[in-house]
Amino acid sequence: MKIGFLGTGTIATAVVHALAPLGHLITVSERSAANAAMLSAAYENVAVASNADVTAAADVLFLGLMPDIAREVLPALTFREGQRVISFIADLPLSEVQSLIGPATAESLVLPFPAIAQTRSPLIAFPQSALVSDIFAAHDVFNMDSLLSCPIFSRRMMSSIWKLRPSSAPCFRPKPFCPPSCKCC
C-alpha cells in the first residue's frame, strides 16, 4: 500500500514505526525534519518529501497536523478522487477535513497512542472503516460510537476530555444504557 503522512510529530512518527515493518511504501513530510530523517534512515521503505509530493504519492494519506496548520496547508495541496484520508487531528471535525481535502475521501478520525510504535496498541476510530481495520489489523481498533454508547466508558474515560475541553461535552453525550453487545459494563 502507498501511504503518506502529512506531519511527523509524536503520533505520526509512532504510527510509521508500527506500519513500516509491514512493507508499506511510506512517504513522510518534511514537517518535523528530525523525525522524518530518522524514519527514512531507519526504514528502506520510508522516503521524505514535500507536502505536495507526499500527497501525490499516497493512495492513503494520514493527517498528523495541528488544526490551524491543517487549515493553512491542506487547501494548497492537490488531492484526487479515490484517495483516502485518515485524520489524527482530534480538534478538527471530519466534516471540515472533508471540505479541505475534496475530492479525496475523509475516511475516519483515528486516535492512536504513542505506544503503537513498540507494541500492540488500542486505537479509537470514528467512524470505523474497513480501511482502518485493514491497516491496523495487528492492533485493537475501537469504534467511538460503540464506546460512547457505554455509560461507564463515557463517564470514566471521557471525563478528562470534558474537563480539558468543556466545549466538546455535547459531542460525547452517553446513551442511557449499554447495548447487549457491550463487554465493559
pLDDT digits (tens, 9 = 90+) for 123-178: 888 888 899 989 988 877 766 555 555 555 555 555 555 555 554 444 444 444 44
Domains and CATH numbers, the chain: 2-143 (3.40.50.720), 149-185 (no CATH)
Here the cell at position 159 is 471525563
Determine the 3-state secondary structure of 45 from DSSP. Answer: coil
Whether the link from the prior residue into 103 is cis, omega within 30° of 0, is: yes
d(Cα 78, Cα 104) in Å, to the nearest integer?
A: 9
- The reported pTM is 0.79
Residue 185 clears pLDDT 50, i.e. is over it: no
What average pLDDT does the structure give for the chain?
A: 83
Amino acid letter at 33? A
Mean pLDDT of 52-72: 97
State the pLDDT at residue 148.
Answer: 53
61 neighbors 107 (Cβ within 8 angstroms): no
pLDDT tens digits for range 86-99: 999 988 999 999 99
Determine the Cα–Cα distance for residues 97 and 86; give it in Å rounded to an integer.
9
Q: For the residues of 135-156, what is the DSSP string, one character each?
A: HTTTSEEEEHHHHHT-HHHHHH
Q: In this predicted structure, what is the pLDDT of residue 48?
A: 98
Q: How far apart are CA 153 and CA 147, in angstroms?
A: 6
- pLDDT of 103 higher than 70: yes
Mean pLDDT of 19-28: 96
At 42, list the grid cell. 531507519
Rounded-to-integer distance, Cα 34 and Cα 36, Å: 5
In this predicted model, which residue has the larger pLDDT, 117 or 122? 117
